[in-house]
A and B are shown apart, each in its own frame.
Chain A
Amino acid sequence: MSQTATMSGAPASAPIPEAGPRGPKPKPFFTPKRIIIYTTLVFFSLYFLFPLYIMVVTSMKTMPEIRFGNIFALPSALNFDAWGRAWTSACTGLTCNGLSPGFWNSVKITIPSTIVSIFIAAVNGYALVNWRFKGSEIFFSILIFGSFIPYQVMLYPLVMITREMGIFGTLPAVILIHTIFGMPILTLLFRNYFASLPQELFKAARVDGAGFWRIFFEIMLPMSLPIFVVALILQVTGIWNDFLFGVVFAGTQNLPMTVQLNNIVNSAQGTPEYNVNMAATVLTGLVPLIIYFVSGKLFVRGVAAGAVKG
């Protein structure tokens, strides 16, 4: 172990004569190489952190402070006025109700879409692993391939389909769309997970006479909590961040938070209030950020799931 540590730890200081004392060589911390590594990492970290800092700082300033101060400066006081205005009274060009309706619309869209899409994908994955039927693998391949088709290609026919169904411009339409476009990645996720479970469990249950749904609900579901959490993170952040489907399918009554935010910042009339804009931006980003910081490694697993092909 210690040997492998030195191996990749300091491959640059290559030819060390191995005659001396044994064990890993104590390395000075500030070798030039280390300094370069940490400087670069810190530099990039600043690039990544800078917008977050600007966003938060700007949202707490007053407009005169913004106009006459500089963009880096800290606000003179912890002032959440702009946050309140962004939430309740910011104008979108049509109405002046702030972001809060958008927030609740996003909640109304995200919760059912997440539940429905994950449930369907879990059943798909289970059927693909344990109840293969003729052509099931072909359907799965097309599903995965289909996830790379640009949404714009399927957008107009979907508008027509939802219109025919009488749900265009309502919540069910958005939920349906999110379920459809979440299906490839989620099905992949569940399929790989169920395939990794021991097959004996399934066989034993079959021998005992349990059917499709009974095995699913009583054996598979209780064992798939970890993958459910990954899928949950993936879907909640994905659906919360969606813009295109919300703007096309939700209808003006149900516009999600991202659309509302964009309207507040980009189509409001009058002098722009940058503090309110940034407060609204922070508020919209808050939900995925909280999920990201709370979930930690699981988020990484979720985003990397798309890269791990089964």
Chain B
Amino acid sequence: MADIATQSDQVAGDSSRPGPFRRLFLHNLSAKIAAIPMVATVLIIFVGCTIWTVYYSFTNSRLLPRNDFVGFDQYERLFATSRWNVSITNLLLYGSMSLVLTLTLGFLLAVLMDQKVRFESAFRTIMLYPFALSFIVTGLVWQWIMNPTLGLQGTMRGLGWAGFTFDWISNPRMVLFALLIAGLWQGVGFCMILMLAGLRGVDEEIWKAARVDGIPTWRTYISVVLPMMRGVLVTAVVIIGSGIVRLYDLVVALTNGGPGISSEVPAKYVYDYMFGGGNIGQGLAASTMMLLTVLIIMVPWAYLEFGGKGRRS
């Protein structure tokens, strides 16, 4: 590629500049200098730091990283810690509910928006604006709304509905649903936008054919359109899934892991052990487990996307 370009270049302009070798060298040099940040990021940060973390998760590092190998000790300790087990259970429960609901609601809303509704752009603006806000803002607003004494519960009781209960953020059994309400509020609009783009990409001919065959609309959506949107669906799953694994700010703002440890998540465990608990080995082992989780989500996707027939969706 570059060879051809430089050759034609040599022919075109070697009267104006010094020797072709020098110029060839210089041209390559500036392109390579320009690529240094990217190459460095890839090699040092994405590859290097990840390997470093996995490597040191097998050591006995406490306040500072130490090269003292202890095998799987950190992992054994990790899975013997109730806080970690609560964290992964929470991630699993919250993650599956959040993924399913985000996708379902996102798809449902996209289908509704695709019915040639009036004020489509107004609806879209309303549904997507929470996505522009940070998780901290999201968490704090919902924390106030769910405040048991002065929030929604207090108001409803004050209005005479004495049995109204909405104490989810202070109830260990329900706190995950509190997180879910806030998380869905922030993320469903984005999923809807993705799905809507997918729906708009479906050929009108498909709809005509389905109509000629007398297939009901809902059936067409589920059995014809949805499989055709595979690419968008997979992308949505990967983006939403890796967002869920990272879940941190929202928990810090909404519940800070409470009540007790009932809404702890892995990302918070990692942070607290690395920067608060002075137990780096634990933090690194926990973050390696997070990496593993992401790989479990990513590998099938990468396989579908790049491993198949090199086909693009």
Contacts and interface: CB of A to CB of B under 8 A. Distances in A.
A132 B238 contact: no
Interface string A193-227: 00000000001001111011100000000000000
Contacts of A289: 129, 132-133
A120 B283 contact: no
Interface in A72-116: 72
Contacts of B253: 262, 265-266
A189 B218 CA distance: 35
A293 to B, nearest CB: 8
B15 to A, nearest CB: 10
B219 to A, nearest CB: 10
Interface string B118-137: 00000111111111111111
B217 A307 contact: no
A300 B129 CA distance: 10
A278 interface: yes
A9 interface: yes
Given A146-B45, A150-B290, A14 B134 contact: no
Nearest to A68: B158
B121 to A, nearest CB: 8
Interface string A21-42: 0000000000000000110110
B288 interface: yes
Interface residues of B, number: 118
Contacts of B236: 307
Contacts of B210: 11
B141 interface: yes
Nearest to A158: B49
Given A51-B141, A266-B256, A146 B132 contact: no
A19 interface: no
Given A51-B145, A153-B50, A309-B235, A241 B5 contact: no
B198 to A, nearest CB: 9
A181 B194 CA distance: 23
State which size class the interface on A falls in: 35 or more
Nearest to A216: B34
A7 B207 contact: yes
Interface in A104-149: 120, 123-124, 126-127, 131-133, 136, 139-140, 142-143, 145-146, 148-149
B287 interface: yes
A291 B127 CA distance: 16
A48 B38 contact: no
A148 B298 contact: yes
A180 interface: yes
A157 interface: yes
Nearest to B247: A150
Interface in A251-310: 258, 261-262, 265-266, 274, 277-278, 281, 284-285, 288-289, 291-293, 296, 299-300, 303-304, 306-307, 309
B12 A208 contact: yes
Contacts of B133: 241, 285, 288-289
Contacts of B211: 7, 11, 14
B178 interface: no
A206 B27 CA distance: 11
Given A45-B126, A48-B185, A309-B235, A143 B131 contact: no
Residue in B27, B125, B143 whose Cβ sees the most chain A Cβ within 10 Å: B125
Nearest to B204: A4
Q: Please indicate which of the listed interface residues A70, A277, A296 has the most CB atoms of chain B within 10 Å of its own CB.
A: A70
A182 to B, nearest CB: 10
A48 B126 CA distance: 7
B35 A149 contact: no
B117 interface: yes
A20 interface: no
A132 B1 contact: yes
Given A37-B115, A143-B42, A154-B49, A203 B134 contact: no
A41 B123 contact: yes
Contacts of A171: none
Given A48-B130, A71-B151, A15 B17 contact: no
| Residue picked from A51, A55, A152, most chain B C-beta under 10 Å | A152
B46 A72 contact: no
Given A148-B298, A307-B235, A45 B127 contact: yes
Nearest to B14: A209
A8 interface: yes
Nearest to B149: A67
A183 interface: yes
A132 B28 CA distance: 10
Given A38-B117, A48-B126, A150-B245, 8 more contacts: A154-B46, A208-B12, A209-B17, A213-B30, A274-B144, A288-B133, A292-B128, A307-B235
12 contacts: A5-B116, A66-B150, A124-B35, A143-B46, A150-B267, A153-B53, A156-B65, A209-B9, A266-B256, A285-B133, A292-B132, A307-B197
Interface of A: 4-5, 7-9, 11-12, 14-15, 37-38, 40-41, 44-45, 47-52, 54-55, 58, 66-67, 70-72, 120, 123-124, 126-127, 131-133, 136, 139-140, 142-143, 145-146, 148-158, 160-161, 179-180, 183, 187, 203, 206-209, 211-213, 237, 240-244, 248, 258, 261-262, 265-266, 274, 277-278, 281, 284-285, 288-289, 291-293, 296, 299-300, 303-304, 306-307, 309
Q: What 9 A-B pairs are tightest by C-beta distance, nearest first? A: A146-B46, A241-B134, A157-B49, A209-B13, A70-B155, A131-B31, A292-B132, A212-B30, A154-B49
